[in-house]
Homo-oligomer: A and B are copies of this chain.
Amino acid sequence: MAPGVTSEEKEKHGQASKDSFIHISNPHLEKMKEDVLYHFALGTGTHDFPALFGDIKFVCVGGSPSRMKAFITYMAGELGMASPGCDYPNICAGTDRYAMYKVGPVLSVSHGMGIPSIAIMLHELIKLLYHSKCSDVTIVRIGTSGGIGLEPGSVVITSQSVDATFKPQFEQVILGKSVIRSTDFDDELAKELMECSKEIEQFSTVIGNTMCTLDFYEGQGRLDGVICSYTEEEKLQYLNAAYDAGVRNIEMESSVFAAICNLSGVKGNSEFLNPWFHL
């Protein structure tokens, strides 16, 4: 879309030192008296961030608000922090843009569908962690996706997020100009997640590339959208080419998730259960 693609940010990536604190790549923030996280209905002027969030070590994000509530309820049980009849209040009750839940060191946040929706959430989430003075934070995106060439019910841990042309990059448009950002995920975290999967022995799990598209219907080769100009053969050709490029699943948020984690010095990865299948 936009002209003047530059690759300068490709080089920047990797320079964000992997110390334990959150990096803010915005010199303007230090000059602001108050930071309002509009889409969370939270602000540094109205909420004590270190007291509310300072102990967070793990953030799990996913599309659906109700699933993220179910997840925190499950986590409370796993951590031995559940109490009978206990409900988990939505920390972002002042808005219906996103939902947020917390139990102990775990935060669970919904992000809606698509790159723009998760990007707004991530900008405000990373600022929340920064203002809360959190350290050693790991963020995992969990969710469902469409699998390619895998057994039903298997899990994909993402090594790289690739775009619709199978390139491991995210195009960020800044003031009308296009900048390319890296979409590699943290290797170590991928291996740790794989170890967890082996211990649990409940899911067939692979580490592979995740294709991130801007569209669910035409963008992923579906034949049942309101607009479709290709044949089933053309769809299969495309998905086979994706498989050959190492793609094992398709979803709509991983590329900007990787890009923002990389620029903020946060360990991040995506892990998907594949309930439906393209191939």
Contacts and interface: CB of A to CB of B under 8 A. Distances in A.
Interface stretch (A48-56, A83-91, A229-237): A229-237
A226 B1 contact: no
A117 B120 contact: no
A26 B227 contact: yes
A196 interface: no
A45 interface: no
A79 interface: no
A252 B115 CA distance: 11
A116 B119 contact: no
Give how many copies assemble into the complex.
2
Interface stretch (A165-173, A186-194, A198-206): A165-173
A195 interface: no
A74 interface: no
A115 B219 CA distance: 12
Contacts of A119: 114, 215-217
Classify the secondary structure of A's interface with B: loop
Contact of A117 (B96, B112, B123, B175): B112
Contacts of A218: 172-175
A228 to B, nearest CB: 4
Contact of A113 (B112, B122, B124, B227): B112
Interface stretch (A28-36, A101-109, A135-143, A150-158): A28-36
Contacts of A166: 176
Interface of A: 1-3, 24-29, 32, 35, 63-66, 96-97, 112-117, 119-120, 122-124, 126-127, 130, 163-166, 171-176, 213-219, 221, 223-230, 232, 234-235, 238, 241, 252, 260, 263-264
